[in-house]
Structure 1
Amino acid sequence: MAMRDYAADKETIKNFFVDFCETNDEGQKFFKYAEQLTKVAHREQTEFVVELDDLYETNAELAEAVKQNTRRYTNIVSDLVYEMLPDYKHKEVAAKDALDVYIEHRIMLEARNHRMPGEMRDPRNRYPPELIRRFEVYFKDVSNAKSLAVRDVRAEHIGKLVTVRDKDLELAKHIAYVHQHSSQPPSRLRALPMRLVRRYISLTKRKQPVVPRALADYLVSSYVELRREARNARDVTFTSARNLLAILRLSTALARLRLSDVVEKEDVSEAIRLVEMSKQSLQHVEENVQRGISATDRIFAVVRELAGSSSTVKIADVIERCVDKGFKPDQVTHHSIISLHTSSP
């Protein structure tokens, strides 16, 4: 890959910020990046967002270079925006914080100590650009970009523009906020008092749920089914008696959460589902065969497996088996597959 002329790219991006415009419904032109520059200069916003969809319209090659070397172009655009701000500042900013006062004071002291024009100051005393800037530059990926899960981000993605899934992005933002502020983000939901949570945990520890004899056959058949599927599966997971012990422990834990003295069938089904989901989470290969199969097809596979040579299947059995496979009951009932394949021809 040929080396890029970053000085030329900087000039191209500058012209892009100045000239790019959109037309609204009334036919009027709107210079979106010039408007952002004005708001940043007046301290009305702290985020400067560059949409790659817009840059692709002007220069697709440059947009692709930004995706492949986002860290470098973030610094380039940050320097460029800082240089352009005086041209878009139409009024003085009245509100100043402590950092403004500190910087102005240091500049005044430097001016007193370096009266000779052109005198170079010690590079060690220069202000970091990140401290002087009062904004952050963000690149928004193209609308058709493929999103990744956070766990799929690898070392080769460092420095590049990566789009993560919405849920993963929310989780990452939540974790970053907690580490930065040592508290949970503000929310409309009211958290339970810790005293109440401690009291609830204390009550659950007093419970010792028992597994009734009526669930013995269900537990045995479920474990045998898990063993059979493990033998036919192509993954590296292994199902042993420890899995049965895990199911029993999870079932009793779920019963404790309900403050119940008896383990119910729903507790066992949920425990089996959790075990199945934990096994699936170990399969991090990108070309997982299950990812290309729709939920309807997988539910239909369960129906065919239950039916065998028979032409009818009980809906309750289908729901129960699908729940064991990791589906939720509403997922099973949502698909028309049950009405199509569980009735007699």
Structure 2
Amino acid sequence: KPRDHCLSMGKCKRFLQEFYSEDDSGKKVFKYGAQLVALAHREQVGLVVDLDDVAEEDPELVESVCENTKRYTVLFADAVHELLPEYREREVVAKDALDVYIEHRLMMETRGRDPADMRDPRNQYPAELMRRFEVYFRPPSTSKPKVVRDVKADSIGKLVTVRGIVTRATEVKPMMAVATYTCDQCGAETYQPIASPSFMPLIMCPSQECVTNRSGGRLYLQTRGSKFVKFQELRIQEHSDQVPVGNIPRSMTIYARGENTRLVQPGDHVAVSGVFLPLLRSGFRQAVQGLLSETYLEAHCVTLMNKTEDDELGTEDLSEEELRQITEEDFYEKLAGSIAPEIYGHEDVKKALLLLLVGGVEQAPRGMKIRGNINICLMGDPGVAKSQLLSYIDRLAPRSQYTTGRGSSGVGLTAAVMRDPVTGEMTLEGGALVLADLGVCCIDEFDKMADADRTAIHEVMEQQTISIAKAGIMTSLNARCSILAAANPAYGRYNPRKTIEQNIQLPAALLSRFDLLWLIQDKPDTDNDLRLAQHITYVHQHSKQPPTHFTPIDMKLMRRYLSKCKKRQPVVPEALADYITAAYVEMRKEARVSKDTTFTSARTLLSILRLSTALARLRMVDVVEKEDVNEAMRLMEMSKDSLQRRRRWSRLRPRLPRLSRLLRNTQSRTTVTRTTRTTPPTTSQSCMTLTATPTPPPTPTNKHHKYTTPTNTQHQPIYNTDKYTTPTNTQH
């Protein structure tokens, strides 16, 4: 319905003057009156109007602001411009070049004007040139943020809020808000307010003198008398959990001006509120563009989600029934089993992935940073569901990026330097690791990456930053993410005749940065193969996991619980320090004695601490207990044992045929007794008894006796011949 301009202006002025809130002592505090005083004295630039405050005074006005934000931005700016002289208590001493320019023009105007002319000489200047403040709206708390792909044509001109991750941020440049021209014939000044990012400059002088004399004066731009504001272009991309299956992430252009610039950088998760507008070009570009129009969001409020409660996952408290459903008996096994329930087995691997999602506690004592994120590498034979596990973690984590080794370069993982199409300057565009900040980056086919590209993630895995020194840009970007990599052995399948280093073929500097390096093998086992085949056929027929003794936790509920666990900051008590130290020394001793073992360094000790604090977070406690340390060391030993078992038993394989032949020969051989003559034996004629006794085969010792685990059928030695005898079946 049509609205009266004067009536709307009166509402805006009345709200700014009369709105107040009471403090603890019951005293009235005029919130916007104090801001107007700061604006009048040039102590503040931005006036932020909270629409929740407007809703208390006039709910209808809030609806009008949300529906036609651009118009009410001008109305509130006009209201502030009229009210500022009333709130000015003293003269402003600090003056910029534009103030001096306008004062000089007013002084010249006053000298040459007619005394009978009562018009205010300031009225000839546009209001945008005289103002030194900016008006922004903060959306009401009742409005819900939209997904980028849901912001469509019906949102044009309205106040909308979108969430996403910043992929590109240009340098802050001055943008012209009011252009001032001078005529070369009559000397008159012409002012052109600019509302869009592009404009067509004026050429002919529109003054009365040039029109009357038909002198055809040309206008020349005067940058000294023009007004400029800070301008920055942002590019945000929707989060991975907001992208439907089979679609690519959508992006949106954000135009930030004034006080909203320099608030974010690539990799930050933000919530941006602003006006959704079409990009109106001028001249030849508009003719080429045709009927189509690009869109952008004019930012009013930019909120960093990294420093606040980043999403609604942490704001909604879990109900008692939901907590009881999660924290019942064996909740650790239940949470681990709820990760990719359609994948059979891999219990310990799923437990490790659960701890990766929770993460450890980050330490930053006196500037030295110790990461809390957990890095895991899954290596194994083809067809053991490594990629399926990565895909599920990518869907489960609220912030994640999924990439492959061959499809990623070092620049694509870290950051790319690109030329901005608007300003023509070199800008940074974040890669997969930057976009996965405070999340998980899943890298499949990790072994297929080139060595030069793989070295780009060394700094990320330990320092959690990406340092850039390219094209004159020297900066450091945050990449506080966990790395989940999947790789195949160097020969396609794990070769037991080769050493661990020959099978993995990854540098020690990279292996030491992984907290857990897990080898998943495809072992022939009749019973296990039968259960696996039944599981796969059931999933293929019904598109869900088979019925089990427990019901997997829903993905949304699990995501909310893990988000709640991340708020805990458990500490390691001093009583456990000696226990952890002794365990680490024992692991180093075993690594020194055994030649075929994985790389063990001081980073292994930090890995145990990270896993222990992650387990304490999972139980939602503030102190790490001994059981947490034992479980962390058990997972560490199981990951090492998965690599060492094949190598340990493969060394016995060449001896087994020789030992069996020796055993058969000695059983058929009799005791040979050779008796010499009755004369005393000489050195060459001795009475000897040769008895051949079989030599028992060496039994493998359990080097990990300190952290022994219950026997698991999935970790049995593969040379137990009795285990693989199958009953005769006529069908086969």
In the alignment, which of 436, 449, 460 is matched to residue 253 of structure 1? 449
Q: Which has the higher strand share?
A: 2
Higher relative contact order at CA 8 Å, sep ≥6: structure 1 or structure 2? 1
**Take 1:146 and 1:254, find their aligned partners in 2: how far apart are those partners?**
44
**Take 1:249 and 1:115, find their aligned partners in 2: how far apart are those partners?**
83
- Alignment match, 1:217: 383
**Take 1:134 and 1:16, find their aligned partners in 2: how far apart are those partners?**
21
Matched, 1:268 2:478: no
How far apart are residue 175 of structure 1 and its match?
2.4
- Alignment match, 2:62: 63
Matched AA of 1:93: V
Note the 1:77-88 alignment, pairs <5 A.
77-88=76-87
How far apart are residue 118 of structure 1 and its match?
3.4
SS at 2:44 equivalent: coil
Contact 1:40 1:46 in 2 (8 A): yes
SS at 1:216 equivalent: coil
How far apart are residue 137 of structure 1 and its match?
0.6
**Take 1:117 and 1:249, find their aligned partners in 2: how far apart are those partners?**
85
**Take 1:187 and 1:222, find their aligned partners in 2: how far apart are those partners?**
33
- Alignment match, 1:18: 17
How far apart are residue 129 of structure 1 and its match?
2.0
**Take 1:128 and 1:308, find their aligned partners in 2: how far apart are those partners?**
72
CA pair 52-185 structure 1, distance change in 2 beyond 3 A: closer
How far apart are residue 154 of structure 1 and its match?
2.9
**Take 1:15 and 1:249, find their aligned partners in 2: how far apart are those partners?**
64
- Alignment match, 2:97: 98
CA displacement, residues 266-291 of structure 1 (integer Å, 9 cap, x when unaligned): 5337xxxxxxxxxxxxxxxxxxxxxx
Matched AA of 1:143: S
Range with greater deviation from structure 2 (56-65 or 68-77): 56-65
CA displacement, residues 14-45 of structure 1 (integer Å, 9 cap, x when unaligned): 12211111110001001111111111001111
- TM normalised by structure 1 equals 0.55
CA pair 163-44 structure 1, distance change in 2 beyond 3 A: same
In the alignment, which of 132, 135, 154 is matched to residue 133 of structure 2? 135
Contact 1:251 1:267 in 2 (8 A): no
CA pair 38-3 structure 1, distance change in 2 beyond 3 A: same
SS at 1:268 equivalent: strand
Structure 2: segments with no counterpart, 5+ residues? 174-230, 234-260, 266-378, 392-403, 408-442, 457-482, 488-538, 566-614, 620-732
Matched AA of 1:252: K
Contact 1:38 1:88 in 2 (8 A): yes
SS at 2:159 equivalent: coil
- Alignment match, 2:152: 154
**Take 1:187 and 1:122, find their aligned partners in 2: how far apart are those partners?**
42
**Take 1:28 and 1:268, find their aligned partners in 2: how far apart are those partners?**
63
Aligned residues between the structures: 241
Contact 2:406 2:449 in 1 (8 A): no
Matched AA of 2:169: I
In the alignment, which of 268, 287, 308 is matched to residue 546 of structure 2? 308
**Take 2:484 and 2:114, find their aligned partners in 1: how far apart are those partners?**
81
How far apart are residue 49 of structure 1 and its match?
1.5
Contact 1:254 1:267 in 2 (8 A): no
**Take 1:36 and 1:152, find their aligned partners in 2: how far apart are those partners?**
35
SS at 2:99 equivalent: helix
CA displacement, residues 137-159 of structure 1 (integer Å, 9 cap, x when unaligned): 11111112111244543333232
- Alignment match, 1:206: none
Q: Which has the larger radius of gyration?
A: 2
Matched AA of 1:11: G
Q: Which has the higher helix share?
A: 1
How far apart are residue 122 of structure 1 and its match?
11
Contact 2:36 2:87 in 1 (8 A): yes
Matched, 1:54 2:23: no
CA displacement, residues 183-242 of structure 1 (integer Å, 9 cap, x when unaligned): x94899xxxxxxxxxxxxxxxxxxxxxxx9x533347x858x99xxxxxxxxxxxxxxxx
